[in-house]
């Protein structure tokens, strides 16, 4: 049981008829606060076992989502809504879910009228998190004095870049 946040103030969670939240808690466990928010707001909240922490807060006239975000953020957690359910996860769990849901893809882009080095500098800002780019080596030019390797433009194939990134980033790079 939490103590009153300030003398004379009631501890707990109240949700008005318009859906706005008033919340006053001091050193309340996050699990208990999520339970109170669920009961008072008549919302289905499911928290990961890894979500832990305590909350001290006084919130006035905020939406349910703002209240939830305000108590989760300092505890390294966030939420996502799916249908009638609000799932609460640690930020690490949320990041893992995003990377699993959006696996990286790899594409080879053949270049015309543009060097691989120039293309790399143009697309690097578009790679996004986890994206990498590899470029074809520049062609050698000029004649060598070696009688066994006496040609210019060795390996003078068309430049290309190899890009690994999220599918949406690959589409933008294309």
- List, for residues 80-133, the tens digit of each pLDDT value: 999 999 999 999 998 888 777 778 888 888 888 888 888 899 999 988 877 888
Residue 13 β-bridge partners: 23
Tell me the helix, strand and coil percentages in the chain, rounded to 5. 30, 30, 40
How would you classify the pairing of strands 77-82 and 21-29?
A: unpaired
E strand or H helix that includes residue 81: strand 77-82
Strand bridging mode 85-90 / 77-82? antiparallel
Considering the entire predicted model, what is its pTM? 0.57
CA distance 98 to 76: 16
For the stretch 140-167, pLDDT in tens is 655 555 556 555 455 556 788 888 888 8
Q: State how far the Cα of 159 lies from the Cα of 19, in Å rounded to an integer.
A: 59
């Amino acid at each position: 049981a939490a103590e009153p946040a300030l003398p004379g103030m009631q501890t707990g969670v109240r949700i008005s008829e318009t859906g706005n939240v008033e919340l006053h808690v001091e050193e309340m466990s996050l699990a208990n606060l999520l339970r109170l928010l669920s009961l008072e707001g008549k919302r289905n909240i499911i928290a990961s076992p890894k979500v832990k922490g305590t909350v001290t807060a006084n919130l006035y006239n905020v939406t349910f989502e703002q209240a939830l975000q305000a108590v989760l953020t300092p505890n390294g957690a966030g939420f996502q809504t799916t249908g009638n359910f609000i799932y609460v996860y640690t930020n690490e769990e949320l990041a893992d879910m995003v990377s699993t849901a959006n696996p990286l893809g790899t594409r080879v882009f053949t270049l015309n009228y543009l060097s691989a080095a120039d293309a790399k500098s143009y697309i690097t800002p578009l790679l996004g998190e986890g994206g990498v780019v590899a470029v074809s080596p520049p062609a050698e030019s000029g004649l060598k004095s070696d009688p066994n390797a006496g040609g210019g433009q060795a390996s003078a194939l068309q430049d290309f870049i190899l890009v690994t990134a999220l599918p949406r980033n690959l589409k933008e790079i294309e």
